[in-house]
Amino acid sequence: SWGIFQALTGFGLLETTIQYRASTFGYSAIGFQPDIHAFAAHMLLGAVGLLGYLLFSVRDEPQPLSFRGLNIAALASLLSWLALILSKSRASLIFAVVVSIVWLFVYLKVKKISVLNKKLVLTACILVVSVIGLSLSGKFWLADMLQQLQQANLTSFEALNKISIYRLEIFAGALRMFAQFPFMGIGQGNFFHLSSILDFMGSPWITQTGGENAHNYFLQTLAELGIIGALSFVLVFLWPFMHCTRVKRLVPAGIAIFAIFLGNFYSHSLIIRENLYLLAVFVTLLYAHCVKEAKDASVAPLQSASSSQNRIETKLSGRPPAGLSNAISIGVLVCTVVLMYFAYQEVSGAKDRFPFVYGSDCYKPTVVHADGWTSGRLVIPLEEGKSGIKLVVDQSQADAKIHPVSISLSMLHQAGHSLHTVNYPRQASDQFSMEISIPEIKRKELQGGKVVMQLSKCFSPSNFGLKDDSRKLGVHLKSIEQF
């Protein structure tokens, strides 16, 4: 309700959120979440989770909901759908629609309801007309994406990457991270920090922004925790389904978990603490049902000796043969030992591998940031006909007077080899200038060359309490002049 109120009034929204697709279909709703995708993922719990519960599980409950309870649940689901649309999260809405259609067809097949049922046909017609009407309306924010898809070259990765707001580039970078440290990953919480390193992540867009999350919680988990952590993560959710006999009792909590997961394939709402707590509640319900089932079995009255023997035989008959069980156990043990060996090798050698070496997040070959700051390594392509460059620094590092920064300028030719270097050691003042020009004797080798500025160290403004900026910065440039 609060999210719907926000979408209508804009009350309580940040300025950036108010401007997001403001010309189409009202404001963006975020509720009490930090962004639209986290809010949309939360609404999926009602839009998809409650819908799945009403279709598949409500009649299997030991104490079925009353007619009033069913109406309240249906109303909550409808409100969630409305809030999901008002959030303006395109991917979340598309996922919700696709999953709901699949669930509806499964429900019709299980209940053996004809697709030509009058009520069903009428409902479908109303939905189709509504969707077509919204799509044709210039006020519906999803129409923007449809227009982009129509105009874009769908065979071009760059075009699709731009439409996805660089998600495809980020996903590819996450897989690249995983490939370099596949067994134990890069470490929990390190994705944002390491993603800004172009040579490691391989994403120019993230390098410019200074770091990002994967916008896919599962890819980020795989990159940070590796195969071992990802398997442990999956096992937490699969264990109750593998060890409980009355699986139907797990379906409601399972549907809720799936709805939460659905909001994390194209975003990362589980990074928000409250959403993670919500997931933990439903996981607890899975295990609580299994514990209750075990207690019910332990306090059940004893039957006659013959029926007890029959029950034991029935249970044993459902188990795999002893030989197969032993083979599976041995296979699991061997795989565990092999994984542990490779994990040890990976961790023990990580301290000497990029990016876990000194300066990897400082010496990123970047252009000047929008605010004028450089990283510890600045690359400046030389314009045609130019053989030198002059840099004017108007702000140095926060601790430069105590710990002066040394700077070197190198002139490289097209192949990357150094032709000329000029050093500026121990610069302690805030304002100074530097320049480098290629000697006359080497100018013929400079075709397609560039100048590289490398600093002895970087600093983070947040470490000095200057501002909330955790970037690794070099110096602030007033001007760059080529001659």
pLDDT band, very low/low/confident/very high, at 161 (cuts 50, 70, 90)? confident
Tell me the longest C-alpha to C-alpha distance in the chain. 105
Which letter does DSSP use for residue 436 in this model? E
Residue 77 host element (H or E): helix 67-87
With 80 as the cut, is the pLDDT of residue 342 above it? Answer: yes
> What's the mean per-residue pLDDT of the chain?
81
Strand pairing class (365-366; 377-381):
parallel
Which element (helix H / strand E) includes 479?
strand 476-482
Residue 305 has pLDDT above 50, yes or no: no
Split at pLDDT 50, 70, 90, the class of 179 is very high
How far does Cα 11 stand from its chain's mean position?
Answer: 28
Residue 160 CA to residue 166 CA, distance in Å, equals: 8
Determine the pLDDT at residue 59: 61
Q: Which two tokens stand for residue 93?
A: 């809405």
Query: What pLDDT does residue 299 have?
Result: 58
Across residues 126-151, what is the average pLDDT? 62
Q: What is the DSSP letter of 389?
A: E
Angle of the 217-243 helix axis to the 273-298 helix axis, nearest 10: 10
Spatial distance between the Cα atoms of 119 and 124, rounded to a whole number of angstroms:
9
Q: What is the mean pLDDT of residues 148-174?
A: 81
CB burial class (10 A; 0-12, 13-18, 19+) of residue 167? Answer: middle
- pTM for the model stands at 0.74
- The fraction of the chain above a pLDDT of 70, given in percent, is 79
Query: Residue 117: pLDDT band by 50, 70, 90 thresholds?
Result: low
Q: Are 245 and 75 in contact (CB under 8 A)?
A: no
User: SS3 for 272?
Assistant: coil
pLDDT at 430: 86
Model confidence pLDDT, tens digit, residues 353-410: 888 877 777 877 666 777 889 888 888 888 888 888 999 998 888 888 898 999 999 9
CB 147 within 8 A of CB 90: no
Q: In this structure, are strands 405-412 and 450-455 parallel, antiparallel, or unpaired?
A: antiparallel
Tokens at residue 5, please? 């109120």
pLDDT at 311: 46
Give the model's confidence band at 236: pLDDT under 50 very low, under 70 low, under 90 confident, else very high: very high
Structure confidence at residue 408 (pLDDT): 93
Sign of CA dihedral 219, 223, 227, 232: negative
Q: Work out the percent of the chain whose per-residue pLDDT is above 90.
A: 22
pLDDT category at 232 given cuts 50, 70, 90 is very high
Residue 451 bridge partners (DSSP)? 380, 411
- Contact between 421 and 409 under an 8 Å Cβ cutoff? The reply is yes
CB-CB neighbours of 59 under 10 Å: 9
Q: Point out the least confidently predicted range of 121-135, 285-299, 376-390.
A: 121-135
State both tokens at 126.
């109303």
The three-state secondary structure class of 145 is: helix
Q: What is the pLDDT of residues 271-287, one digit of tens each?
A: 888 889 999 999 999 88
- The encoded tokens of residue 456 equal 């002895």
Q: Tokens at residue 184, please?
A: 């134990």
Residue 464, helix vs strand vs coil? helix
407 vs 5, higher pLDDT: 407
